[in-house]
Structure 1
Amino acid sequence: MHILVLGAGVVGITTAWFLQKQGHQVTVIDRQSQAGLETSYANGGQISVSHAEPWANPSAPLKVLRWLFKADAPLLFRPRMDPAQWRWALSFLTECTSAKAAHNIRQMVNLGTYSRSQLQALRQEQGLEYDQVTKGILHFYTNQAEFDGALEPTRIMRELGCDRQVIDAKKAVEIEPGLKHIQDQIAGATYTLEDESGDARKFTQGLAERCREVGVEFCYHTDILGFERMGERILGVHVLKDGHHQTMRADAYVLSLGSFSAVLARQLGLSLNIYPAKGYSITVPVKNEEAAFSVSLTDDEYKLVYSRLGDRIRVAGTAELSGYTRTLNYTRCRAIVRRTAEIMPEAGYWDQAEFWTGLRPATPSNVPYVGKSHFANLYLNTGHGTLGWTHSCGSAAALADIVDGRKPEVDFSFSGL
């Protein structure tokens, strides 16, 4: 079967890989010049099953209100005259109950654990190198209330098989000596040995090359405009390439366009509750090898993640719900630099920070759309929010099973819109 994959980020490329592995002819379409140049370009770098506590939880509404007029807030909601934004926000509030948060944690942990194992198998099979580090992820808390609030989600994750261990400040510094500078500020920590980190762009581009070698075709510099349909079947995709309008046809189609999936789906009457959560990152050269961290870190109070990418440090996080603009907000950029310099003053050349922003395709629940739409030949693999890199291999492998009429190996509520 010939399948068009719409989108060449980490989710689209992993989808292409697993589909071709099952014998399908695959073509990938993207507006960029190569794979991994949008949300996958400079993300936080974590393969983080332990980062499964959804934004929507019982403590979130009060925090959002407190942060509403704070320009450097970890989660910033900028109200707009945008019905999609308000629909998303109202749905987010309905997800903030203890019961729904627990359900969503289960979904995210199950998919994340499965995905991590798929990534590890793929890495070994293909010999992929992407500055990966397999030393686990350490969540540290400099606020007692934040630490106390993490204990129940951590318990749920452990019950689901994510071995996230609660530890004290002393143990945290033993695991990662780079935290010694703030040891007396750490209220507590958790550590998940099985989690990993790595450069998502390097992985995506490396896997895209493997895809090309085994026959996957790529149509870059191609804008996707809409669909041609007949009843409940997609007949083609309208594109603009080299100044010419074309219609590309296949037997089936996979929508993996991140935040832009919702915009395109509306043309088909599909209501995907995805809204862009603009995230920020800084990338800096390592300054002092002894002072720099090697274990990937999560600063939960400030919603920041830290990954070591060879001789570079990547720090990413925060979320700004302000539409589809990718304009850098330097107040938020400087807030990341300020916090990281406080944590590890000698680790990196903080004055040389390279700033980046990308649009993470967030659902109110943080659970992605993976599965079949009500159109006979249109599939969804999108809406992964902050966990696209973590969930990419698992959701791609599961979707390939769904396309072939098999039940996926992972316990997950697959979409059926």
Structure 2
Amino acid sequence: MRRLAVYVVLLYLRFFARIALFMHRPKVIGIAGSVGKSSAKYALKAILEKTGRTVSTSGNSETGVPLGILGITLAGYGPIDWLIALLRCPFGVFHLIGASYLIVEMGIDDPRPPKNMEYLLTIVEPDVAVIVTESAAHTMQFEKALTVEEAHGMDPAERRDLLIRRITAEDVKMITDRTDTVVYNADNAFITDELKKLKHDDKMMLSFGASPDNRLTYGRREVTLQHTFFEFKLDADRIAFRVNDYALPEEYREVFGAAILAAYAVGETPARIEQALSSFHALPKGRVSLLRGINDSVIIDSSYNASRVSVMAFLGLAQELRDATQRPVVFAFGDMRELGGEAELEHTDVARRAVEVAEYLYCVGPLTKQYVMPIAEQAGLRELQWFENARLLGSHLRSHLPNNALVLVKGSQNQIFLEEAIKFILADEKDVSRLCRQERYWKKE
């Protein structure tokens, strides 16, 4: 009965979302990839909304996409919340009135419908397809689709690469006959290999990356605890801007590279792109917020979610800032979830890097206890402890946080919620409003 109810709700949401798209016909820009989708969406919206009404979906799932198209935000996930949302759907078809652009974040959690790309394409097909990067994320569901030989006949690294290829192949399905432009990360071999299989003679292919052979190439990047400076070259034009109040990892070149090329593809000029990004200040909560902590510490809040690639990126950032400021690095690390059989390899990779960067390492969750702690115990850190939950970690940090520390917080959302630890060490309690997952629904967790 529950499965039937879910099916009916999905059909209902899709029906009204498609009516809205048919009525208003905005230029649709779809963003896919394992990491960086949300940040790329925010950056792209900041550029496009300067010249025309731009709507972006807040969610990226089989329900989040249609609700975003209809302009409906769930207050919670209870029956009453859903009933109110469903009653609003017929009126939501007018949400796209006057919209020149619709930016759709297209997330996949499973190779099977309704959580795959093929299902999302029954709701909306992008005119411009953007693929930011690909890595091991949500591998648990893709792992279930492996054959016995694939699951057990490969070493862990080979199996991980196979899963990333499968995830990439699913993301690349977003490129349909309707798509006229593809923006992609040429430095990611999983993406480029998959695109070689695709017939795209009728599409404009715009690549970004480190090589000068790309349409958009990376220039200088400078980072401090006050701002991050980025430079790009687009054809013969230079695009340079400073993002104030954010210390961003080097990998954010991919985020901004994707946004710049997508904006260029729909007619924005390099000058207008640079101007828009120079005033950009709208990254989502819990991705890369800088917060003042107790004992003159600085908190790098990336507690929203975690994968190996994103954790490695932020450890690289922490090392840069450590070397520049001589602050000790405190790393609060929570489990990376939904990895299935890849959990050991992903966590041990991070553990080896973490002990090179951090002097203080605090772990939360059973996976870090099983895979990270044994490696870290051999590293001779100043302090190493494991905690059952984020609140216990926060309580410990409140009384043991070293002075002038650089505190990196990174972990998955699934039962980890490291933002709860951050609350204990904020210098200003009002900054709780800047943390992720503070809505009513999450308070039930």
Please report the TM-score for the alignment, with normalisation by the length of structure 2: 0.24
Q: Higher RCO, 1 or 2 (CA under 8 Å, sep at least 6)?
A: 1
Please report the TM-score for the alignment, with normalisation by the length of structure 1: 0.25
State the structure with more CA Rg. Answer: 2
More helix by share: 2
